[in-house]
Structure 1
């Protein structure tokens, strides 16, 4: 199956500014159809959801369409799709809800590999109720988080395991299904951070074994909001804090206040855009998504291989080494000069930032402290010319730094 990156790039107005974007792990660019969908919703006759007026029905349709779209993207029941301000906000809300049933002697497991949004909400919730926190450590030499490392900290008192499907810092894709199976055998729930993963792979939530899966549309060409997916039957067992007159139905009971209809319209458009990235085969949107994402993954992996080969010729250390990972490379420079490289590239219209990117525990475990290193991330709109510019810029920086 062919991938026409030029056709894809033509739909991103931001690319006309001439920058090469390797900063997509922090937030992707927006294609024109997504921006148009947001604008159309904002200028449509809208009201709070309902069934009486046309404005109410338009709002209701936007929400239901967005749930269906995310259901197709993640392979889940749309009735278990919850929208929120962000993945971080949704995780904090869920942590508060679940921890109401925890107490002293209970345990939760978090991974040192994760973004802090899948660590701190659980740590703080556990501290509030007196539960214990146990840490699953990854190997800083290989970047791998093994199922054995998680098994080592599980016990019959484990109530929840929080793990990433892909590290936003070094790209590692842990064996989530094996970890989930071990957690379930211990009687624990599994919360999977799919923010970085969803942008780069076809997602099958059930195959991952996740009880809860969270992601952010703005990482996969959509607008700024958050999504949580779970089995509606599981959500029915939870009682989040909410306003008295707000709906107690699932998934609405988890959505605080009026939903941002324009962002949900943009989310549907983003899923449709992903489904059409390649000449995808399939009669359903889900089938087209799976086909397109496989093609995009091959495109991104090819570019990643080009970059990795070239980095091997430069005096830098690549900290992304796991056997299975996203097209995300963390690059360390001698003397801790990643911030200088960041600025050097920026002057040349190349966006590749340096930071710990909220993966604070992982950055520290790698010996990079709170500063982190330079992160190179790929996206569907990155092409070979962008990679040429990046490699030329990195080569020039290393030469100037001798």
Structure 2
């Protein structure tokens, strides 16, 4: 594996060349990433050349529809699933809500589902509301000290055979630990349950082979993976065809339309192919495969290797400070570069103090009220969150550490 060419990478993102952002280090990537040039170019082209209802026989409409289909085809291939198993929606939160409504109609009274208290509320709240419909909701709880989600604690929750669905995150947006999705999905399947995996906090760090993971549903947000503000949803065929249709009745025969009640944002769907463009270019530039799933896996490994090298000095620095509590593991492997710390004052106030030092970070609860509360974090203060991706420079990590020294 070649070392990441950080200058080439940053050249793919227009934000890094903007005069207003010079000297500013971006550490709130978990809230939304910079957008790559490939996505911007496709979005601009659609709005200037294709801004029409797609799939009609005239040229601009035909090309617009082809670009939308291209996005679905290429992203599905990168994720290791069939083209029609991938859907777009306005956001992951909305997609989860639609899925919960489908399960509300599908499940019988007395059936049970499992949710965790490690989740962002978007992959917890809609499922928990099913308790109002006679569905039993069981909570798979984290370790209150470490935030770890122990698979052994899932076993007794499924012992009676009533659990039909297990909902859990690929990784938490505050704990950062990467859960063993493949093992958990196999565990749930053996107990007769489907799985819904929230990949929002993991996908920015590389596209996984969802087919190999074994998840029945996998969700993430394109605006956190260098693309437009769309929710991307994989629903495997065996589940998607038995859940009640949530789209127009005349679209129920189309798997990717069954869980999209409203018409998609044509331009943003088409622009999402730019994410595939970027992953393939990243792989090819570094000597990897030039297309498809192979490019996605190669790019994933490149990105993760860079992120681990960036995490090492930051975690070492934070672990040395008695004035804060590092949420999650202090090991750079096995976690995403989403680093939350609890302090003696509000995280939002510390983020404001960091801003004059050129550090763009966030503070608060980040809709992770349940995990933070379970870990004993004062929710009035929340946490300071420092999140980055592969395009972050080692010099920016040193800039962050220097700023923290001054502020803390």
8 A contact 1:105–1:132 mirrored in 2:
yes
Shift in CA distance, 45/308, structure 1 to aligned 2, threshold 3 Å: closer
Whether 1:328 aligns to 2:338 is: yes
- What is the SS of the residue equivalent to 1:215? strand
Q: Residues 54-133 of structure 1: matches in 2 within 5 Å?
A: 54-124=59-129, 126-133=130-137
**1-structure distance, mates of 2:35, 2:162:** 44
Q: Which residue of 1 aligns with 2:351?
A: 342
Q: Which residue of 1 aligns with 2:298?
A: 291
**1-structure distance, mates of 2:75, 2:382:** 33
**2-structure distance, mates of 1:393, 1:182:** 44
Query: Per-residue CA shift, 1:56-106, capped at 9, x if unaligned?
Result: 312321221111122133111111111100111111101101120223311
Query: Per-residue CA shift, 1:115-155, capped at 9, x if unaligned?
Result: 1111011111x123211110001112222111111112113
Whether 1:177 aligns to 2:182 is: yes
Whether 1:220 aligns to 2:225 is: yes
Q: Residues 181-192 of structure 1: matches in 2 within 5 Å?
A: 181-192=186-197
The more displaced of 164-173 and 272-281 is 272-281
Shift in CA distance, 8/367, structure 1 to aligned 2, threshold 3 Å: same
**1-structure distance, mates of 2:15, 2:271:** 17
TM-score (norm. length: structure 2): 0.92
Shift in CA distance, 247/62, structure 1 to aligned 2, threshold 3 Å: farther
Whether 1:282 aligns to 2:289 is: yes
8 A contact 1:90–1:228 mirrored in 2:
yes
- What is the SS of the residue equivalent to 1:190? strand
8 A contact 2:9–2:282 mirrored in 1:
yes
Q: Which residue of 2 aligns with 1:162?
A: 167
Q: Which residue of 2 aligns with 1:266?
A: 271
Determine which of 383, 389, 393 is the counterpart of 2:399: 389
**1-structure distance, mates of 2:220, 2:49:** 27
Instruction: Kindly state the Cα deviation for residue 51 of structure 1 after the two structures are TM-superposed.
Output: 4.8
**2-structure distance, mates of 1:274, 1:385:** 24
Determine which of 371, 374, 385 is the counterpart of 1:362: 371
8 A contact 1:142–1:321 mirrored in 2:
yes
The more displaced of 34-43 and 246-255 is 246-255
Instruction: Kindly state the Cα deviation for residue 200 of structure 1 after the two structures are TM-superposed.
Output: 1.2
Query: Per-residue CA shift, 1:295-343, capped at 9, x if unaligned?
Result: 111111101111111223333221121762111211122x234232111
**2-structure distance, mates of 1:284, 1:8:** 17
Q: Which runs of 5+ in 2 are unaligned?
A: none
TM-score (norm. length: structure 1): 0.94
How many residues end up aligned between the 2 structures? 396
Q: Which residue of 1 aligns with 2:325?
A: 317
Shift in CA distance, 169/123, structure 1 to aligned 2, threshold 3 Å: same
Shift in CA distance, 343/153, structure 1 to aligned 2, threshold 3 Å: same
Determine which of 299, 304, 307 is the counterpart of 2:311: 304
Q: Which residue of 1 aligns with 2:153?
A: 149
- What is the SS of the residue equivalent to 1:2? coil
Query: Per-residue CA shift, 1:8-30, capped at 9, x if unaligned?
Result: 11232222312100100010011
8 A contact 1:304–1:378 mirrored in 2:
no
**2-structure distance, mates of 1:201, 1:12:** 17
The more displaced of 58-67 and 247-256 is 247-256
Whether 1:197 aligns to 2:202 is: yes
Shift in CA distance, 59/237, structure 1 to aligned 2, threshold 3 Å: farther
8 A contact 2:105–2:244 mirrored in 1:
no
8 A contact 2:281–2:290 mirrored in 1:
no
**1-structure distance, mates of 2:3, 2:97:** 41
**2-structure distance, mates of 1:369, 1:62:** 47
8 A contact 1:276–1:289 mirrored in 2:
no
RMSD: 1.8
**1-structure distance, mates of 2:131, 2:277:** 41
Shift in CA distance, 236/377, structure 1 to aligned 2, threshold 3 Å: same
- What is the SS of the residue equivalent to 2:69? helix
Query: Per-residue CA shift, 1:268-317, capped at 9, x if unaligned?
Result: 10122123225141253221121111011111110111111122333322
